[in-house]
Structure 1
Amino acid sequence: MFFDYKKNGKFTDAFSIRLHRDMLLLGIFGYVIVFATFVSLFILLKLNSLNISRIYLNRNDPNKLLLRANRFILLRPLGEI
């Protein structure tokens, strides 16, 4: 690896140029992967929170509310209106 002070402090040999280009590309690719991971986790959390908060009226007794939890089939009463 050669560092040439006469050419604005840039690396001049082919190996160094390739190495720095590859490291830059890997860094950019890493940022894209981390950003996509956070976006997908945020979307999953948002969908999960929307699923949990569904409230229905009880057809048998209109004065009672029912909450449908995310992965449960049974509806449980919340209370009276």
Structure 2
Amino acid sequence: MTDTAQPNADVAALSFEKALAELETIVAKLERGDVPLEESITAYERGEALKAHCSRLLTAAEARVDKIRLSADGAPVGAEPLDVD
């Protein structure tokens, strides 16, 4: 039998793109509504793990971008408004 202590442990190794693609597949499957209850629950749990992983990766990427945009003394470098008309 497989280890049930960490059924979604492999999620942490996925890239953002792969995790997001799998999450989109799960959402589409659940939205169809033709999945047995137990499989739906398992898919939902996997989806939650994927969502949390994607969120962590986005937060880390955002932090990296913020560091890039700051000079050594912490002042913004070349900051421009996002909405330029």
* Structure having the larger proportion of residues in strand: 1
* Structure having the larger proportion of residues in helix: 2
Q: Same fold judged by TM-score > 0.5? A: no
TM-score range, shorter chain: 0.3 to 0.5
Q: Tell me which of the two structures has the higher relative contact order, counting C-alpha pairs closer than 8 angstroms and 6 or more residues apart.
A: 2
Q: TM-score, normalised by structure 2?
A: 0.43
Of structures 1 and 2, the larger Rg is shown by 1
